[in-house]
Homo-oligomer: A and B are copies of this chain.
Amino acid sequence: MIPTGALVYARSHRSRFLADLMEFVRFPSVSAQPKRAGDVRRCSAWLENHLKKVGLEKVKVVPTQRHPVVYAEWLHARGLPTVLIYGHYDVQPPDPLSEWASPPFEPTVRGNNLYGRGACDDKGQLFTHVKAIESFLHVTGRLPVNVKCLFEGEEEIGSPHLTDFIEQNRRALRANFAVMSDTRMLGPNRPSLTYSVRGQLGLEIEVRGPHHDLHSGNFGGAVHDPLQALCEMISQLHDRNGRVAIPGFYDRVRRWSKTERDYMQRTGPPDRQILRDAETEAGWGERGYSLYERVTVRPSLTINGISGGYEGVGGKAIIPSHALAKLSFRLVPDQDPREIEILFHRHIARITPPTVKSIVRTNQLAKPAVIGRRHPALFAAAAAYRKAFGTNPVFLRSGGSIPVVSTFQRVLAIPTVLMGFALPDDRIHAPNEKFHLPNFYKGIETSIWFLWEISRKAKGRSRFHAPYTQTVESMQIN
């Protein structure tokens, strides 16, 4: 038996699935911007309603201190495994707006792609599972396994309240493993399973100089310019070899075996591919590592934004009173974001010139995570890719951060299958973000096959059965 009914349904309803996704993308659910809080809430209500229509049960919007979580379940596959499906319905800010070919929140199909903020990250990818569920429930009235859906609205701001939510609902969220689609494939015909993500530490440094802006003629040369001081400080965050120059920063970075590095070199993208994906000519960074290693098994520090002084047209003859930089670390096993935060504070205190003051604020924290490549759920996912894409997936490391992966591991004691459908040129977080529509449709089929494979392996009482036998009951979500 194969899931023919669900697959046929999914194929024959592609245009309606796309229309539903466009409705979803239309919400400017930008979690980082307080002015968009209402849009985030409206988006969660729309998603709640949609999950009800799909046939999921106990659908509810659970408020947090900021943006709500949307929960849903279907738990009638007695004795079979429970899969926790995670996704996020919030999106990155769309700036700079002027660089979008079509407005970010007016989803537009051009060629094989759907353009819009969140089309790929993560509304489109989240929807592959929703539509797989719809296909099963519509055709058979049942799912092959038990399913719990957890869709959050704060991923792009570092999931500040998700950990609390998971801890408070640790019994209700019990599952055999989690699955999420928020990562990349190597190319349209090169499906990939991600088995490691980097951690993150988002910070800002404010440098304060004079109490108000000063005339640069009257005071230039006698008062330290906070922008100059900030630049001088930032220039001391990397050494000449592209390494982060904070004392102790590399102390806990895990050294990988030659076997693992060889595997990465065989399966991972070569330098030229990464440069092509970035649409840039020159690589940069830590010597002695490939670009793929630099963005996955090595930590990094990026300056995400700087502002200060006059930024308008023409010039303005001032020494600005303050300057601000936003920056973020990507961390790798076994670095601890809290420890790096302390090292950073110490380093900034050390390099702040006595002529200005500096203040460091933390925006985001997330631990790095790795999943064993031989976990049975990964085998089921690999089989599903093979069926939907006609080819074996490669096992990849991601340079990005998915804080919830380490939370699931720590709080629920379950691994997460990272089954991504994004393409390297989907311009995630950038203007003209898109989702490759063939990946949307194949993603839905992958999810159908995946749920079915899990069920088949569990029923077959194969060696993958063991992890699925624990009883999973429905619990009240708080």
Q: Is the CB of A32 within 8 A of B312?
A: yes
Q: Is the CB of A310 within 8 A of B95?
A: yes
Q: Does A169 contact B (CB under 8 A)?
A: no
Of B157, B282, B330, which one neighbours A217 at CB under 8 angstroms? B330
Give residues 200-229 of A contacting B (CB, 8 Å).
Answer: 200, 202, 204, 209-225, 227-228
Flag the segment in A107-115, A142-150, A283-291 that touches B: A283-291
- Interchain CA distance A313-B428 in the complex, whole Å: 19
With A222-B278, A222-B283, A307-B306 already in contact, the answer to whether A217 and B200 are too (CB < 8 A) is yes
Contact residues on A (Cβ < 8 Å of other chain), bracket? 35 or more
Q: Does A44 contact B (CB under 8 A)?
A: no
With A218-B295, A310-B93 already in contact, the answer to whether A315 and B320 are too (CB < 8 A) is no
Q: Is the CB of A291 within 8 A of B222?
A: yes
Q: Is the CB of B400 within 8 A of A217?
A: yes
Q: Is the CB of A238 within 8 A of B227?
A: no
Q: Does A317 contact B (CB under 8 A)?
A: yes
Q: Does A232 contact B (CB under 8 A)?
A: yes
Q: Is the CB of A315 within 8 A of B363?
A: yes
Quick one: CB contact mask for A310-329 with B, threshold 8 Å, 1 for yes? 11111111111001111010
Q: Is the CB of B215 within 8 A of A93?
A: no
Q: Which residue of B lies closest to A228 (CB)?
A: B303
- By a CB distance below 8 angstroms, the chain B residues around A398 are 217-218
- By a CB distance below 8 angstroms, the chain B residues around A432 are 212
- Interchain CA distance A212-B112 in the complex, whole Å: 21
Q: Is the CB of A92 within 8 A of B316?
A: yes
Q: Is the CB of A282 within 8 A of B318?
A: no
Interface centre among A32, A209, A218, A355 (most CB of B within 10 A): A218
- Interchain CA distance A432-B214 in the complex, whole Å: 12
Q: Is the CB of B316 within 8 A of A305?
A: yes
Q: Does A231 contact B (CB under 8 A)?
A: yes
Q: Is the CB of B312 within 8 A of A223?
A: no
Q: Does A168 contact B (CB under 8 A)?
A: no
